[in-house]
C-alpha cells in the first residue's frame, strides 16, 4: 500500500508533521487545468487541504506554544511513497483556522500552489518587452515574483511577439500576463504536482511525451517521462520498452469508480480568433508633465510613480521606454506674434524661468532654412543669442550630444558657432571655431588649458551650403562628425568644467559668427551616434525624461539640479521616478517626459467555421483572444485547426476516477502528472483514444496497511 507524509518548512528545514494530521478527516489535493475545451490552456490555483490535531496550540499562529515559523505563507508538501517517494503537492499555506471549541482542538489548513501567487502578484509596471517569445516573457514575470515556483520547465515558444506588458495597469497581475502570452502562443501553462512551473508551446504535446494506460476493462500502456523503469514489488521491471501492456484491469473490483464519457459537449464549429495589434508612433509625444512642482526637501529622497498619459485625452498609454536626458532644442522657427525671444522646445512647459534664448540683433530668415519656417541669421559683427545658465548646459562627465545645421558666409578665424560662455580665454567648450579653413572643437576641464580637446577637427568649412555638424561623448570617447561622416575621435575621462556663465550661439571672445544656423540640439545624458550616420531629414522632437530642480515653486528661482541625482525605473505604461537631494536648500522638481507611444490599431478577427456542421448542429462558438500577436496569420492557423478538430460531435472522455487498490493504480497515481499522455479504452462504449491529463484531484484516507487514495483525472484528447 501507499504511505503518505505531510511536511512543513519550519526553522529552515522540512519537518514531518504527519503525526499531527487528523487522517480520519482525509487529505485532499488538486492541481492543473480544470477544463478541457480548446480555450482551457492555463491552470488555476492548485490546493491542498488537511486538518491538524491542535491540542497544545502549536498550530495556532502567534500562540506561545506555536511552532516557530508556523504562519500563513509557510511551505507545505504532501509526499507519497510506494516504490519511491513522489511529491504530489507543494505550495504555501493561505488559511489556518483553529477550532473554536475546547472539544474541537484542531486547525484546518489550506495551501495553494504558485499559480495562486501569480494571480495575486501585481507586476508593478514592468519594462515594455519587445520581440519576445512566451517563455521569455514568463521568465521576465518570474523576476518580479518574491515567491518562486520550485523549478521551471519552459519550452521554447514558436511565436515572437512585437510587444508585451504594453497594456498594463497598476492592477495587472503576473497571472494575467502569463495568460496573455500563453494564449497568444496557444500553448499550456500550469504547475505540476512537484511545484514545477511548466510551459508547453504550440504543438509541444505529442504521443511520446509520456505515459500510460488504461482502464475500465482495458489493457494499456505505461511510459515514464524521464525514460526510467517503474519497478514492481518484486523488483522486476514493469517497463521493458517504450510501450508495455499493463494487462487487464478488473472493473468489478472497483478499481475504476467512474469513467465520465460525454458526447458532443466540446464541439466547436465556429471559432473567432482575435488579435490586438499595436504600432509605434512616428514621434515622441509628451506623456507626462507635473503641473504642480514636487517638493524635494533638502538632503532627502523623494520617490513617486508616474503613469504615462495622453495629454489631450488624459487616457493611459503605453510607450517605448524613455531615458533620462536634459534637452535643449531650438528650431529657429518664426515665433508667434508678440514673441521676440527664441523658443527652446525643452522649456515650453515652464511658464517663467527660463523660457527662451534672447536674440541680440540676430533675426529670422524664411528664405534660407533647412526645416520649419525659418533659420536664424547672424551678421558677423554684432549678432548673437544667449540664455542664462542652466545645468543642462553643463555636460560634466555624462554622455553628451550637440548637433546643428549651419550655412557659413565667411571662414574668418575665431568666429564660433557655439560657446558655453560669451567671454573668457577658456570657456568649458567652444564648438565650431574657425581657424580660417577648418572648423574646430575646444573643451577644458580646468579653465586654464584645452586638456580635453585642443582644436579637434569638425572638417573643412564649406561656404554657402547647409552643413550638419555633431559632437558626441559616449563614456570616455569623443567623436566629431560633418554631414554624418566621422572627422575626429579621441578619448578623455576628464569632467568638462561647469560654469554659471551665459550660454551663447554666435559669439565667443568678441568674434561674431557670420551666416545662418538651424535646428540646434544639445542633450545631456545621451550619445546619439558613435558611427557614421545620415543626418536628420526633418525637425527633431523632444524625447526622454527631462527634469530640473529650482529653489522656488514657481520655477523662477535658482537652479539646484547640479546638487540632485535622479533615477527612473522604466516601465511600459509608466515609471517610478526618484530624486535624491544633496543640497542644503529645499527644491522644486520640474519634470516632463516625452516618449514614443504605442498606438493601438483596430482588432483583427479571423472567423473559421464549418458550414456543414453549423447546418447540422447549430453554432457552437469559441472565442480565442491572442493579445500579444500582431499578425493574423498564426491566429488563423489556430482557429482553422480548432474547427477542423472540433467541428463534429463525438464520444469523448472527460474524466476518469480511480482508487489505489492495486499495484496498477498505485503506479498511475504516483507517476502520472499534468500533461502526461493516457490511453483509455472502454469496451462498453467503444471509446479508445489518447488523452493528456489536464488536472488531477485526489483524496487520501487511511486503509489496511497504508493509505487509500481516490483520484480523478480530467482529460483532453490528443
Torsion of CA 201, 202, 206, 210, to 10 degrees: 30
C-alpha cell at 280: 509605434
DSSP 309: B
Range from 210-224, 439-453, 670-684 that averages highest in pLDDT: 439-453
pLDDT bin (cut points 50, 70, 90) of residue 507 is: very high
Of 360, 375, 357, 405, nearest to 503 by C-alpha is: 357
C-alpha cell at 291: 503641473
Q: What is the pLDDT of residue 241?
A: 27
Asked which of 149-158, 613-622, 648-657 is least confident by mean pLDDT, the reply is 648-657
Q: What is the pLDDT of residue 555?
A: 64
* Distance between CA atoms of residues 260 and 345, nearest Å: 70
Q: What is the pLDDT of residue 700?
A: 94
Q: What is the pLDDT of residue 556?
A: 66
pLDDT bin (cut points 50, 70, 90) of residue 340 is: confident
Q: Is the confidence at residue 103, as pLDDT, over 80?
A: no
Q: What is the pTM of this model?
A: 0.78
Q: What's the rounded mean pLDDT across residues 477-496? A: 98
Average pLDDT, the chain: 87
pLDDT bin (cut points 50, 70, 90) of residue 215 is: very low
Q: What is the pLDDT of residue 123?
A: 81
Q: What is the pLDDT of residue 172?
A: 85
Q: What's the rounded mean pLDDT across residues 393-418? A: 97
Got the DSSP string for 194-216? TSEEEEE-TT---TTS------S
Q: In sequence order, what are the beta bridge partners of 48? A: 29, 111
Alpha carbon separation from 504 to 119, 350, 433, 498, 499 (Å, rounded): 57, 21, 13, 15, 13
Asked which of 76-80, 140-144, 413-417 is least confident by mean pLDDT, the reply is 140-144
Domains of the chain: 1-112+223-263+656-718 (2.30.300.10), 118-200 (3.55.50.10), 323-541 (2.60.120.200)
Pairing of strands 375-379, 514-524: antiparallel
CA Rg value for the chain: 35
Percent of the chain topping pLDDT 70? 89
pLDDT bin (cut points 50, 70, 90) of residue 243 is: very low
Q: What's the rounded mean pLDDT across residues 92-105? A: 81
Range from 180-189, 203-212, 239-248, 678-687 that averages highest in pLDDT: 180-189
Q: Give how far the C-alpha of residue 461 lies from the chain's centroid of Cα atoms, to the nearest Å.
A: 48
Q: What's the rounded mean pLDDT across residues 626-637? A: 96
Q: What is the pLDDT of residue 630?
A: 92
Q: What is the pLDDT of residues 190-205, one digit of tens each?
A: 999 999 999 999 998 8
Q: What is the pLDDT of residue 207?
A: 55
Q: Is the confidence at residue 233, as pLDDT, over 50?
A: no
What's the 3-state SS for 344-403?
CHHHCCCCCCCCEEEEEECEEECCCCCCCCCEEEEECCCCEEEECCCHHHCCCCCCEEEE
What is the residue whose three cell numbers read 543626418?
A: 535
pLDDT bin (cut points 50, 70, 90) of residue 524 is: very high
Q: Is the confidence at residue 317, as pLDDT, over 70?
A: yes
Q: What is the pLDDT of residue 238?
A: 35
Q: What backbone phi and psi angles, to 5 degrees, belong to 617?
A: -125, -10
Q: Is the confidence at residue 230, as pLDDT, over 60?
A: no
Q: Is the confidence at residue 171, as pLDDT, over 90?
A: no
Q: How many CB atoms lie within 10 A of CB 245?
A: 12
Q: What is the pLDDT of residue 65?
A: 83
Q: Is the confidence at residue 105, as pLDDT, over 70?
A: yes
Pairing of strands 324-330, 514-524: antiparallel
The residue among 135 and 321 whose pLDDT is bigger is: 135
Q: What is the pLDDT of residues 287-298, one digit of tens each?
A: 998 888 899 999
Q: What is the pLDDT of residues 596-628, one digit of tens each?
A: 999 889 999 999 999 999 999 999 999 999 999
User: Which segments of 57-183 are extended strands (E)?
Assistant: 75-81, 85-98, 106-112, 129-132, 151-154, 161-164
Amino acid at each position: 500500500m501507499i504511505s503518505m507524509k505531510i511536511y512543513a518548512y519550519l526553522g529552515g528545514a522540512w519537518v514531518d508533521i504527519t503525526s499531527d494530521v487528523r487522517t480520519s478527516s482525509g487529505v485532499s489535493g488538486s492541481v492543473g487545468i480544470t477544463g478541457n475545451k480548446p480555450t482551457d490552456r492555463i491552470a488555476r490555483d492548485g490546493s491542498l487541504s488537511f486538518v491538524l490535531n491542535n491540542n497544545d496550540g502549536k498550530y495556532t499562529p502567534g500562540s506561545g506554544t506555536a511552532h516557530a515559523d508556523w504562519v500563513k505563507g509557510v511551505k507545505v508538501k504532501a509526499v507519497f511513497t510506494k516504490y519511491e517517494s513522489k511529491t504530489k503537492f507543494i505550495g504555501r499555506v493561505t488559511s489556518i483556522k483553529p477550532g473554536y471549541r475546547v472539544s474541537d482542538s484542531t486547525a484546518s489548513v489550506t495551501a495553494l500552489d504558485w499559480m495562486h501567487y501569480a494571480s495575486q502578484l501585481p507586476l508593478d509596471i514592468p519594462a515594455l518587452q519587445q520581440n519576445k517569445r512566451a517563455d521569455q516573457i514568463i521568465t521576465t514575470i518570474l523576476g518580479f515574483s518574491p515567491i518562486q515556483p520550485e523549478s521551471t520547465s519552459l519550452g521554447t515558444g514558436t511565436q515572437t511577439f512585437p510587444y508585451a506588458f504594453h497594456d498594463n495597469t497598476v492592477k495587472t497581475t503576473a497571472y494575467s500576463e502569463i495568460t496573455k502570452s500563453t494564449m497568444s502562443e496557444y500553448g499550456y501553462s500550469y504547475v505540476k504536482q512537484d511545484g514545477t512551473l511548466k510551459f508547453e508551446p504550440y504543438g509541444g504535446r505529442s504521443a511520446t511525451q509520456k505515459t500510460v494506460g488504461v482502464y475500465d476493462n482495458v489493457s494499456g500502456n505505461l511510459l515514464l517521462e524521464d525514460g526510467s523503469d517503474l519497478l514492481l514489488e518484486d523488483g522486476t521491471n514493469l517497463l521493458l520498452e517504450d510501450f508495455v501492456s499493463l494487462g487487464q484491469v478488473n472493473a468489478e473490483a472497483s478499481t475504476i469508480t467512474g469513467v465520465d464519457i460525454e458526447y458532443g459537449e466540446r464541439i466547436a464549429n465556429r471559432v473567432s480568433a482575435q488579435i490586438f495589434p499595436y504600432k509605434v508612433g512616428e514621434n515622441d509625444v509628451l506623456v507626462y508633465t507635473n503641473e504642480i512642482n514636487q517638493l524635494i526637501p533638502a538632503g532627502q529622497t523623494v520617490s513617486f510613480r508616474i503613469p504615462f498619459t495622453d495629454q489631450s485625452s488624459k487616457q493611459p498609454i503605453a510607450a517605448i521606454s524613455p531615458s533620462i536626458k536634459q534637452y535643449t532644442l531650438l528650431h529657429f522657427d518664426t515665433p508667434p506674434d508678440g514673441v521676440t525671444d527664441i523658443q527652446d522646445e525643452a522649456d515650453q512647459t515652464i511658464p517663467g524661468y527660463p523660457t527662451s534664448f534672447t536674440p541680440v540683433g540676430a533675426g529670422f530668415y524664411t528664405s534660407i532654412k533647412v526645416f520649419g519656417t525659418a533659420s536664424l541669421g547672424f551678421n558677423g559683427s554684432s549678432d548673437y543669442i544667449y540664455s542664462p545658465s542652466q545645468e543642462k548646459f553643463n555636460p560634466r562627465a555624462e554622455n553628451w550630444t550637440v548637433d546643428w545645421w549651419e550655412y557659413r558666409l565667411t571662414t574668418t578665424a575665431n568666429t564660433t558657432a557655439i560657446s558655453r560662455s560669451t567671454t573668457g580665454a577658456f570657456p568649458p567648450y567652444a564648438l565650431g571655431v574657425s581657424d580660417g579653413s577648418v572648423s574646430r572643437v575646444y573643451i577644458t576641464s580646468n579653465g586654464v588649458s584645452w586638456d580635453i580637446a585642443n582644436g579637434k577637427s569638425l572638417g573643412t568649412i564649406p561656404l554657402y551650403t547647409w552643413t550638419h555638424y555633431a559632437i558626441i561623448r559616449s563614456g570616455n570617447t569623443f567623436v566629431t562628425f560633418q554631414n554624418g561622416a566621422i572627422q575626429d575621435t579621441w578619448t578623455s575621462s576628464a569632467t568638462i568644467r561647469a560654469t554659471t556663465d551665459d550660454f551663447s550661439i554666435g559669439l565667443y571672445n568678441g568674434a561674431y559668427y557670420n551666416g545662418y544656423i538651424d535646428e540646434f540640439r544639445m542633450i545631456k545624458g545621451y550619445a546619439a551616434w558613435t558611427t557614421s550616420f545620415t543626418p536628420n531629414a526633418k525637425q527633431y522632437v523632444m524625447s526622454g525624461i527631462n527634469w530640473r530642480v529650482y529653489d522656488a515653486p514657481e520655477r523662477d528661482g535658482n537652479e539646484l539640479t547640479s546638487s540632485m541625482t535622479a533615477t527612473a525605473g522604466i516601465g511600459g505604461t509608466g515609471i517610478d521616478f526618484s530624486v535624491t537631494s544633496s543640497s542644503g536648500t529645499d527644491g522644486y522638481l520640474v519634470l516632463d517626459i516625452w516618449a514614443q507611444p504605442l498606438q493601438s490599431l483596430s482588432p483583427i478577427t479571423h472567423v473559421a467555421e464549418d458550414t456543414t456542421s453549423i447546418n447540422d448542429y447549430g453554432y457552437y462558438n469559441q472565442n480565442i483572444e491572442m493579445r500579444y500577436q500582431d499578425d493574423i496569420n498564426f491566429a488563423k492557423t489556430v482557429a482553422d485547426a480548432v474547427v477542423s478538430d472540433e467541428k463534429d460531435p463525438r464520444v469523448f472522455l472527460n474524466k476518469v476516477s480511480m482508487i489505489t487498490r492495486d499495484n496498477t493504480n498505485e503506479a498511475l497515481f504516483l507517476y502520472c502528472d499534468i500533461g502526461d499522455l493516457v490511453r483509455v479504452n472502454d469496451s462498453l462504449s467503444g471509446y479508445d483514444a489518447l488523452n493528456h491529463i489536464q488536472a488531477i484531484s485526489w483524496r487520501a484516507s487511511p486503509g489496511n496497511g497504508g493509505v487509500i487514495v481516490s483520484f480523478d483525472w480530467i482529460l483532453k484528447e490528443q
